[in-house]
Structure 1
Amino acid sequence: MNTITTIETRYFAFERDFVDSLRCIPMIVRYKLDTCRVKLQLSDWAKFNFDEKDLLAEMPCHAPDEVEMYADYVNELVWKYTSTVPSLLQNLDPAWVRMHVPAEVHERTHEWNCPVISATQWTQLNELERFALVKLSRSGHEGRNFPRALAEFGLATAC
């Protein structure tokens, strides 16, 4: 990504069942990990203490020097607990920065019988919201949060 948007720390309502304990990686941290291209395993995240997890959510990761410091800190934490370093994302596809609704988001709306998201609705979402919908659309993510996210972002009342 050439241009990095400043994203404020935000936890989504659909994450509320784990935000108090930070047992799962919240979207704000996932966004920052993708920004610095670090692939953090949930098993490594689980080893971090609450303050370390909270700091990863709060640390800035926008300007090039911040992105580098963020990646260094994640690497230090993983090394501290596992004596390994996380791998780097090789083929990052930032579908959330596109101005059209990605195919995987359309597919997921159909799977859940949710209303189709228009291009206008997509562009009115902020970057973190678009990121969340893309991530929730991909395999390996808890599907029940996708319709919750749509409702939270004002895109569907019930799916």
Structure 2
Amino acid sequence: MARSSMSASHCFAFEQDFIGTWRCIPLCVRRKLDLVGVKLKLSHWLALSQRQRQALVDWSDAADALDQMRQHLRTISREMADGVVRDLPPAVDEPWQQGTALPDEIHSAAEARGVDLTPQQWAAISELDRFALCKLVRPGHDHHNLEAALSEVLG
């Protein structure tokens, strides 16, 4: 599924408690970071001005724009207490990028919450929606937004 410009800056309703203040990194930015292969710590994010955070939310997810974002983050993080952002392998062929097979952990998490998520529904939702669900079911994550996310993306 092609990335859409709407997904580039879309924030979910379940993220409303920090939209505007940007005290947490929204999932639309986290997706771009995964696509570009950059580890931006929360401390890096919080060291940015509101304007800089908003610019990252609004940043395009087109391939050339993501390359520019990577370089931008390296440049602006040089003077930060935590140093330059770390490079990670860019996301390639992740389940959220595919949409072809419903991951077992997503299916199980949905089922445990009384939600019947089908492979067809998984394929039909946006890449950002799939990304959000994948992030929210990870082991060690508190999962407190998972029910709201399932309701929002499938509603």
Instruction: Identify the TM-score tier after normalising by the shorter chain.
Output: 0.7 to 0.9
Counterpart Cα distance in 2 of 1:42 and 1:30 = 11
TM-score with structure 1 setting the length: 0.85
Counterpart Cα distance in 1 of 2:69 and 2:151 = 31
Q: Does the 8 Å contact 2:34/2:90 carry over to 1?
A: no
Per the alignment, in what secondary structure is the counterpart of residue 80 of structure 1?
A: coil
Per the alignment, in what secondary structure is the counterpart of residue 80 of structure 2?
A: helix
Match runs of 1:1-159 below 5 Å: 5-8=3-6, 9-63=9-63, 65-82=64-81, 84-90=83-89, 92=91, 94-98=94-98, 99-110=100-111, 112-154=112-154
Q: Shift of the alpha carbon at 1:4?
A: 6.2
**In the TM superposition, what whole-angstrom CA distance separates every residue of 1:81-115 from its partner, at most 9, and x where no partner exists?**
236222222374621022111122123224x4232
Which segments of 5 or more consecutive residues in structure 1 lack a partner in the other structure?
none
Counterpart Cα distance in 2 of 1:21 and 1:72 = 24
Percent identity for Structure 1 against Structure 2: 32
Per the alignment, in what secondary structure is the counterpart of residue 78 of structure 2?
A: helix
Counterpart Cα distance in 2 of 1:55 and 1:72 = 14
List structure 1 segments (4+ residues) > 3 angstroms apart after TM superposition. 90-93
* Residues 1:142 and 1:47: Cα distance change in structure 2 (over 3 Å): farther
The amino acid of 1:87's aligned partner reads R
TM-score with structure 2 setting the length: 0.87
Per the alignment, in what secondary structure is the counterpart of residue 82 of structure 1?
A: coil
Q: Does the 8 Å contact 1:25/1:45 carry over to 2?
A: yes
The amino acid of 2:52's aligned partner reads E
The amino acid of 1:103's aligned partner reads D
Q: Does the 8 Å contact 1:33/1:40 carry over to 2?
A: yes
Q: Shift of the alpha carbon at 1:54?
A: 0.3
Q: Does the 8 Å contact 1:14/1:149 carry over to 2?
A: yes
Q: Does the 8 Å contact 2:38/2:90 carry over to 1?
A: no
Q: Shift of the alpha carbon at 1:53?
A: 0.4
The number of aligned residues is 151
Structure with greater contact order relative to length (CA < 8 Å, sep ≥ 6): 2
Counterpart Cα distance in 2 of 1:10 and 1:118 = 24
